Amino acid sequence: MKLYLPDAAATSALAARLRAVLPDDVAGWTLLLKGELGAGKSTFARALIHAMGHDGAVPSPTYTLVEPYQLPSATVYHIDLYRVSDDEELRFLGWTDLEDGFRLVEWPERVPGLAETADLLLHLDYADHGRHANLRALSSRAAGLLSHLGEQTDTQLQD
Ligand SMILES: Nc1ncnc2c1ncn2[C@@H]1O[C@H](COP(=O)(O)OP(=O)(O)OP(=O)(O)O)[C@@H](O)[C@H]1O
Ligand SMILES: [Mg+2]
């Protein structure tokens, strides 16, 4: 699914719409967030974490690598792999301990092979003053969700 996000509020709105079509229990799911520096990955992750019921701040995990949130539908792990360069470092980070949660991963391309086990991929690209978003399902359990999201988004674009 491709769409144009004219500003940061549109990026956040897309996250809220995705939340609305995700299953109640997203434990074990992985969403990859790709895009250049400043493309809006953290903006999207922050809005999704808020839409999932978190009230407080959502600091960037650039230095901590992982920020956990205990939320009703899952423990959400907001992960930034910008400073990670291979799977050895990922093991050191305790990657397998995060498998029970919903993983939101910025810079997934730092660790080849992550896409094979992920459910969703959002790619954000600079376009004019806003961003192009390309949201894809990588797993069969995620495929149906995007068709719902597409229908909903088309309706909203016609408003
Ligand atoms: N659709 C959009 N149009 C214009 N600006 C946007 C859009 N979405 C987000 N932004 C803005 O882009 C800036 C950078 O966003 P953000 O920190 O989310 O990027 P990031 O991809 O996480 O960067 P990094 O690679 O450094 O982690 C913020 O100022 C944010 O408000
Ligand atoms: Mg970021």
Instruction: Pick the more confident residue, 93 or 17.
Output: 17
**Calpha distance 97→156 (Å, rounded):** 39
**Ligand 1: which atom is nearest the Cα of residue 46?**
18
37, 120 contact by CB (below 8 A): no
For 20-38, write each residue's pLDDT tens digit.
999 989 999 999 999 999 9
pLDDT at 75 over 60: yes
The pocket around ligand 1, CB under 6 angstroms, is made up of: 5, 7-8, 10-11, 35, 37-43, 106, 130-131
Pocket test for ligand 1, best of 43, 82, 83, 126 (most atoms within 8 A of CB): 43
89, 112 contact by CB (below 8 A): no
Quote the DSSP letter at residue 125.
E
**Calpha distance 137→120 (Å, rounded):** 5
pLDDT value for 81: 94
Mean pLDDT, the chain, rounded, equals 91
